[in-house]
Structure formats: C-alpha cells, structure tokens
Structure 1
C-alpha cells in the first residue's frame, strides 16, 4: 500500500463530510492537537507505518484473515507492549492518540484505533464496534465475524461472553441473536470520534476542568451539529466558566430542540438563574 504524508483536516469542514469520507486517523490526531498544539501528525503516521512495515512480509505470507490479525495482535500487544491502562483508566492521555502511540497505553477505543490503522495498512478490514461498556473490534470471516477486545491484548471473544458483557450494560436483559447482531454492527468513523470526545468530556467534567469539558462538547458539535446532548453539555460547561451569554444561548437552544427532555425542568431553572445574573464580558 503506498504511503502518503498525513495532513489534518479543519474542524469546520467535518460536519459536511459523509461518514465514509471522514478521515479517522487524522481526525483523531486533530482531537489530540487541541491538547497538544505542537503535535506533528507526520511523526505518529510514521510510527504506525513502521508497525505495519515490520509486519508486512509475515502477514502477506499468511493466507487466513484470523491468522493475519493474530500476527498483528502479537506484534502490537506482546512485542511492542501496547496495553490497556487498567491502573489509570480515566487518565485523559488514554484518549489522545499521540500519547497512546508514545506511551503504548490506552483505553479500549484508542487501542482499537491503533489496531485498526495498522491492519488497514496491511489490507485487513478490521472494524470498530461501539459495544456497550468497552469498545471492541471485529473482523469479517466466512462464518460471521471474529470479535476481539483491544483493551485486553486483542483477545477473541465468544458469543456467550459477548452476551454477558452486553447484558450487564443493558439493564440485565440478555440480548437475543438479532439484538446481538445489531450491537456488533460496525461503527462509522463519526460515531467512533464522537465516542472519543464523549469520553474526554466525561473525564474533564468529573475533574471540573470546565474549559476542556466545553471544548470536548464543542468538538462533538463540529462533527455532528444535531447532537443535542453535546449542546447542553457545552452550555453547562460555559455556565461553570461564568460565560453566561454562551450558556444562555446553548441551553435555550437545547430546550427548543428537546422541550420534553428528562432534564428540561432543571435546565429551565438554570436559565432562570442566568437571567437573574449579570453576564460578564468575554
């Protein structure tokens, strides 16, 4: 596969792109550049390319796709040492791809991105799954799909374990074959990127780092302006930052879009409080 230098897209262009045109790797690095302004995308592009180049001869000599991906997983998780950060799962660095490639520590979705990107460069169609709880990856095979857990070394998961994992995140109900098949559908790039940003928003809101929480919600809206929860989240972060004009605008728009939301009464109360305060200049 010919290799070209990686360039990052512009945030304002992303909402107008179809899912299939949305560049997953470069947009993930664009997310990271918000936190690391000096980030050089070409460096991480080269590192991922080096992973793929190291594997190319071995993988091309293997006929079966499951054995190809097993070789990729062995190199990434055993030889290079990529692993899930079990000790500090909510460290925001686990969501920034530059940090994941440098530290070789990540969360399920960032490790999946590394696994998927290296596989893509080796012509292996590994896909992400927005599984409830932990993000997973899948590989189409003749009899269905091979599902793997990148947070735990790319370990394959059987149907019974998948049902149990889904059940624990679905109110205790065990999914039947049809529901499980829907859960295992591949996630489009936009959904993957929004999940990264929602993870970051959750971490920063928990830490009360409201500027970063606002930024994460804003970036979701850059990808998908119709995400009303992100509009509310940005407004609430603005409120914590005393950016009252921005909070009023976002929360009012949220109520216009979601007048019957479960938190509508709470948001209306916050708007009343904003109205009684003097909005500082920003």
Structure 2
C-alpha cells in the first residue's frame, strides 16, 4: 500500500476534531498526483500557517470583520489564491497540490486553505454545507461571519446568501434552517473528493471514480452511502465479489429502508450470477 493511502487509513481512526484537514487533503492529492511535488506543497502549508499566526497578532477576540480582512489579505492578496471560474471542471482544481502550485481551485479546495490558516491563527472556523457552493464561517462568541472564499473571502449577508441559494436551487428557494449547517472535517474532505468522483463519472471513468470512492472510505469507513456507491460501481465493472462485499457492508450499516430493500435485491441478483 502506498504511504498516502496508509495515512488516509490512519485518518479513518481519528476523532474528527483531531484531523489535520490540510494534511489529509494533501494525502488525497498525493494519491491522485503521485508525480507532483507534495513536499513543496507541505512546505507552503507550513508557511501559510506561520503567516496566519503573524497576521492574527493584535486583532481583538470578537473582531470577525478584521479577522476576515486579515485572512483575505493573506490568502487572496499575498499568496494570490483565486477561484478558477474559467476552467471550473478541471480536476486540478480539486487536487490540493495542484491548487497550491496554480493558486487556483474550487471553493472547497480554497476553503481548506482558509480553514487551515484560520485554525493556525487560533480562530474558530468551520466549513458551511451550503447547497452547491462551499462557504467558510468565522466563529465569534455571539455571531459568525460567512465568507465566499471562491470570491476572495467576500462576506455574505442574508440577502446575498438568499440570492446565491436561488441561483443554485431556483427562484422559489428561500433560506431555511440548516442551510448554514457547519461541516465536520470529514464532511469537508468528502465534499472535496466528491468533486473528483463526479467528474470522473462524467468522463466515463468508472474505475477512477471507484478508486476515489475507496479512498474516501479510508477516512470515513462508516459512511453507508459510499459503500453503496462503491457496490454499484463494482457491479458496473463486473466485479461481482467486490460488489457483494460493498453491498453487504452497506446493509450492515443500513439494514432497513427503501435503499436496503433495493440493495438486498441487487445482492440476490449478484449471488445468482455466482451460482
């Protein structure tokens, strides 16, 4: 097994708060781009952390606007990161090593850098599971500031969040409870890798999408939906035994419900092919 996959397996055993999100994303990137200079990327992450500690000096504890401005000046200004709107579907935009080299990426890939810097500064921060567009929130004692890191860290008020939701879900969409739900470390990493999985499927690369899914399961082995997806992809690739293992793991996690009924039917059909 490759060293980055060993690292991902180790992450799968960690409590969520103990995950170093940037290092975990770096391990995913090493798997997908083994020829890339991951050590240079790691050195840059260390530099970014040191810079964040320096810019945090003197900012008041609950001055979220100054914190947001300091991070924007550091990441968008000094280090010149930006959202890649012109080549959005480029797989490099979801690979942290490539993102660091190119200084461009998807919202969630850039967001990981913002989370990394904010935490190095000692600030409360989390990813936001906004529909269709990853956001970052800086946490204060009584409020939070939501930032669009793809737009350079622009602060989003209620009107702008509502407009963004309508662009994603349609003109009838309205802000609702849970739309700004904080994401766990694992959830952010899975959202990052999901971009790669989906793009590979769109390209017809089922084997590549399956490999991505299997790596996602290394850090989140109890995510039932991923086991079912892996089973379906193995079935599509005519890997019957592997599909059965994935479906049976899914059923161990989700023994009841409509998805379980469909999965049991798929298991029976696959077992009949082995007889």
State if a TM-score over 0.5 links the two structures. yes
**Cα distance in 2, alignment partners of residues 208 and 271 from structure 1:** 27
Alpha-carbon shift at residue 211 of structure 1 (Å): 2.1
**Cα distance in 1, alignment partners of residues 50 and 14 from structure 2:** 30
Q: Is the 8 A contact 1:81 1:104 kept in 2?
A: yes
1:174 matches 2:185: no
| CA separation of 1:264 and 1:23: change in aligned 2, threshold 3 A | same
| CA separation of 1:56 and 1:248: change in aligned 2, threshold 3 A | closer
**Cα distance in 2, alignment partners of residues 215 and 53 from structure 1:** 34
Alpha-carbon shift at residue 16 of structure 1 (Å): 2.5
**Cα distance in 2, alignment partners of residues 192 and 206 from structure 1:** 22
Relative contact order, CA 8 A, sep 6+: which one is greater?
2
Q: Equivalent residue for 2:214? A: 218
Q: Is the 8 A contact 1:94 1:105 kept in 2?
A: yes
Q: Equivalent residue for 2:228? A: 232
| CA separation of 1:185 and 1:265: change in aligned 2, threshold 3 A | closer
Question: In the TM superposition, what are the counterparts of 1:200-279 in structure 2 within 5 Å?
Answer: 200-254=196-250, 257=254, 260-261=257-258, 265=262, 268=265, 272=269, 275-276=272-273
**Cα distance in 2, alignment partners of residues 274 and 169 from structure 1:** 41
1:17 matches 2:9: no
| CA separation of 1:57 and 1:15: change in aligned 2, threshold 3 A | closer
Which runs of 5 or more residues in structure 1 are unaligned? 1-6
Residue range with higher mean Cα deviation, 104-113 or 65-74: 65-74
1:193 matches 2:197: no
Number of residues of Structure 1 aligned to a counterpart in Structure 2? 268
TM normalised by structure 2 equals 0.83
Question: In the TM superposition, what are the counterparts of 1:83-102 in structure 2 within 5 Å?
Answer: 83-102=82-101
SS at structure 2 position matched to 1:10: helix
Q: Equivalent residue for 2:117? A: 118
Alpha-carbon shift at residue 56 of structure 1 (Å): 5.1
**Cα distance in 2, alignment partners of residues 202 and 130 from structure 1:** 18
| CA separation of 1:269 and 1:150: change in aligned 2, threshold 3 A | same
Q: Equivalent residue for 2:107? A: 108
Measured on the aligned residues, the alpha-carbon RMSD in Å equals 3.0
Q: Equivalent residue for 1:4? A: none
Measured against aligned partners, the alpha-carbon deviations of 1:63-111 in whole angstroms (never above 9, x if no partner) come to 4342133122123223432111112222221111111111111111110
**Cα distance in 2, alignment partners of residues 183 and 88 from structure 1:** 27
Q: Is the 8 A contact 1:49 1:118 kept in 2?
A: no
Which runs of 5 or more residues in structure 2 are unaligned? none
Q: Is the 8 A contact 2:64 2:144 kept in 1?
A: no
